[in-house]
Amino acid sequence: MDHALDKLLSKIKSQNPNSDLDPVKKAFALANAKHEGQFRVSGEPFIMHPLAVANILADMGLDTHSITAALLHDVVEDTDTSEDDIAREFGDTVALLVSGVTKLGKIPYTSNEDQQIENLRKMFLAMAKDVRVIVIKLADRLHNLRTLGSMPEEKQRSKARETLEVFAPLAHRLGMSKVKMELEDLSLKYIDPIGYYEIVDKISQKQSEREEYISGIISLLQSKLERLDIESHVEGRAKHFYSIYRKMFMQNKTIDEIYDLFAVRVIVNTDADCYAVLGMVHELFKPIPGRFKDYIAMPKPNMYQSLHSTVIGPNGVPFEIQIRTWSMHHTAENGIAAHWKYKEGKIGKTDIDSKLEWIKQLLDIQKDLTNAEDFMQTLKIDMFSDEVFVFTPKGDVVSLPAGATPIDFAYAIHSAVGNKMQGAKVNGKIVTLDYNLQNGDIVEIHTSNSVHGPNLDWLKIAKTSQARNKINQWLKKENRTENIAKGKEYFEKELKKSLIPVSYMNSEEFFNKLLTKFGFCQIDDVYATLGYGGSNATRLLTKFKELCKIDMASKVDIKDIAPEQFLVKTTSKANNSGVIVEGIDNCLVRISHCCNPVPGDKIIGYVTRGRGVAVHRRDCINITNANFSPEEQLRFIKVYWADEVESNFQALLCITATDRHSLLVDITTITAELKIPLKGLNARTTKNNLAIVEISIEIKNTEHLDTAIKKLKNVSGVISVVRRRQ
Ligand code: MN
């Protein structure tokens, strides 16, 4: 055991010579004592697992806090040691890392749709608080996968799947490609053993041939580089089975079509050397067009940097070459974990700045970073600080905005769950409805059919618009009866104000069309919305009133309406024209000269623009023959004759008679007898010996006129007496 510890310590020393080794020794002693008597499924002492995890981290060059935490990562979960014990003995940082890893271990995993898996990955990051927790967790998972062989088959497959779906993508996101590739290769072996061994077979078939080929290229490159005086390391690149698997089985390529099966890597000291090596390689071998990538000038989002090219090697076999500096190499292999290796002042300011840039980009942190303290702060993950990830009791992940409450959770599940919510439990304990959900909480909502439903207070507690909308919806519905009554009263008042008969509401033509147009099913919905104060119903009401008025106007059939129908009791008085205009006193009334109505004639008023009400006979051709627009139709107004009319009215009579001597004298005698003032007279004779006499007279009313017409008809020789319209 001591030998194993010494190996770990010297590894740490070689990576970071200034490291304080005491906490590591102390942690090893504690873990060794606490796990005493515990064994892994493989049969080896349990301590071998935390020790292996610590070694993986030491190889990456991680700091001693992380390595100490790695040694202790299972003691809280598996022994009687508490988090407080750890904090007391090793300080807050180590305690935080250990508790972070413990918490991540408790996240239930359910293979589900893509969205769920993405949420799960985000939750890991959000829960970790410190990115080192993830790095430790990845190392933990890596060792568990390396030793998965002793587990039952079912467990192997589920662990492997979880690794492929959650852990490998996390490692990729943090730029830790070495861990990612090993996790993928190990997982593949358990998920598709047949496919895996097929690839292993195919690759090993020509293993020696390939090794010979690659070593030939390596020595050729090495001699060229020596001549160029470039200090370099040249190696054959390790095979990544999972990427070959994907190319073969998902992109349907044969093994011969996979270029990077043969791969060479050149590692140099400076960026300039990288390009010098590239030039030399392209001079030596013919590059395949379109296969060159400059990730030095354009780093990948996870800060991967290298030059890539595929060239035609000896015997026409293509191979891929990667060229990078040592710093790039370390970043390429260990990603975010590479930071600790260089943080002990080994590198210049610009390098630090560029790494800060990376962390900033990776963690989406906007703060300015000036010193090492700030730097460590940036490692605290607040990538998803505006989101919180919680579980349903079934293990589905629900993503909510930070500060969300059980109310938000309930409505995120289903509005029925929210509306019937009686209470909530978080991690098995009853909480108040305004409890702030935390990452990883398992939330259980208790519902009951006897629950009355949400109330206005819930609107204040809920954080999501989804929950608030649904609560609002429910409140609207719940107070429906009250709202309907309120809305109905309002609606009818509005109609009364606009003199619209309520019967219009029963008209399908009007109402049903409008209901559909404004998205209502029935009139009660309109009332309810009006009562609630919904603007949609107000718009409907306005439109309805407008349409009713137009319809009312268009339906006034001028000829058919008897004057009696207009004899509405009114306070209006007749003005000196003898015409009463309904509802209006003292308005200017003009007797129209196109038809010259007299009292007793059926009449109608037309509100002119600025010249008062023009009174026409109802049968005036200007009224009956014209086409009025709906707007003009609205200008018609009810008018009727006053009971006692003082003034006289003009009438034009056309008398047709057999022409004879003294005809005109007889006619004028009649008008004189009737005391009808004669205002004009025009007479002519026709070819067939008829006389046409037109007289303009002043009369009091139609009765008066009828008498005159009767008398005139009795005059000898008169054939007809007709009142002319104009
Ligand atoms: Mn573990």
Residue range 160-212, pLDDT digits in tens:
988 988 888 888 877 788 999 999 999 999 999 998 998 888 877 777 777 88
CA of 72 to the centre of ligand 1 (A): 9
CA of 122 to the centre of ligand 1 (A): 21
What letters, b where the CB count within 10 A reaches 16 and e where it falls short, cover 181-213?
bbbbbbbbbbbbeeebeebeeeeeeeeeebeeb
Domain ranges of the chain: 2-191, 200-340, 385-477, 479-555, 563-641, 649-724
251 near 275, Cβ under 8 Å? no
**Over 90: is that where the pLDDT of 145 sits?**
yes
CA–centroid distance, 645 to ligand 1, in Å, is 112
Model pLDDT, residue 397: 74
Q: Is 78 a catalytic site residue?
A: yes
Query: Rg of the Cα trace of the chain?
Result: 50
Instruction: Name the pLDDT band for 355 (thresholds 50, 70, 90).
Output: very low
Residue with tokens 């064994």: 39
User: Tokens in use for 265?
Assistant: 């890597």
Superfamily (CATH H level) for 649-724: ACT domain (3.30.70.260)
Determine the pLDDT at residue 88.
Answer: 93
CA distance 119 to 101: 18
> In the structure, what pLDDT confidence band is assigned to residue 377 with cuts at 50, 70 and 90?
very low
Mean pLDDT of the chain: 80
Is 74 one of the annotated active-site residues of the chain?
Answer: no
HEC string for 407-463: HHHHHHHCHHHHHCEEEEEECCEEECCCCCCCCCCEEEEEECCCCCCCCHHHHHHCC
Question: Is domain 200-340 given the CATH code 1.10.274.10 in the classification?
Answer: no
- Residue among 6, 77, 386, 646 flagged as catalytic: 77
Mean pLDDT of 650-659: 86
Residue with the bigger pLDDT between 103 and 125: it is 103
Integer Cα distance of 101 and 79 in angstroms: 15
221-225, 319-323, 446-450: which has the minimum mean pLDDT? 446-450
Distance 46 CA to ligand 1 centre (A): 10
Please report the pLDDT score of residue 558 as a whole number.
44
Would you place residue 555 in the very low, low, confident or very high pLDDT band (cuts 50, 70, 90)? low
- Give the pLDDT of residue 269: 93
- Residue 722 phi, psi (nearest 5): -125, 135
- Domain 2-191, CATH class in plain words: mainly alpha
Q: How far is CA 165 from the centre of its chain?
A: 27
- Write down the catalytic residue from 78, 457, 509, 673: 78
Sign of CA dihedral 428, 430, 432, 433: positive
Beta bridge partners of 718: 657
Q: Which fold has domain 385-477?
A: Ubiquitin-like (UB roll) (3.10.20)
Is residue 45 within 8 A of residue 38, CB to CB? The reply is yes
Higher pLDDT: 533 or 608? It is 608
b (16+ CB within 10 A) / e for 408-445: bbbbbbebeebbbbeebbbeeeebebebebebbbbbbb
Residue carrying structure tokens 């008066």: 704
Please report which confidence band the pLDDT of residue 571 belongs to, taking 50, 70 and 90 as the band edges.
very low
Distance (angstroms) between ligand 1 centre and the Cα of 388 equals 25
Beta pairing, strands 639-641 & 579-581: antiparallel
Ligand 1 center from residue 73 Cα (angstroms): 6
Distance, CA 724 to ligand 1 centroid (Å)? 114
pLDDT tens figures, 26-64: 999 999 999 988 998 888 999 999 999 999 999 888 888
Give the Cα separation of 49 and 70 in Å (integer): 10
Predicted pLDDT of residue 27:
94
Q: Which residue has the tokens 């598709």?
A: 192
Residue 165 Cα to ligand 1 midpoint, Å, equals 19
- Give 98 Cα–ligand 1 centroid separation in angstroms: 11
Question: Whole-prediction pTM value?
Answer: 0.54
Q: 409 or 110: whose pLDDT is higher?
A: 409
Give the model's pLDDT for residue 364.
Answer: 40
Given a contact cutoff of 8 angstroms between Cβ atoms, the answer to whether 126 and 388 are in contact is yes
Distance 200 CA to ligand 1 centre (A): 29
Give the pLDDT confidence score for residue 29 in this predicted structure.
93
| Residue 289 burial (CB count, 10 A) | 7
Q: Which of 65-79, 198-212, 367-381 has the lowest mean pLDDT?
A: 367-381
pLDDT at 635: 79
| Per-residue confidence (pLDDT) for residue 140, from 0 to 100 | 95
- Residue among 177, 216, 480 at smallest CA distance from 331: 177
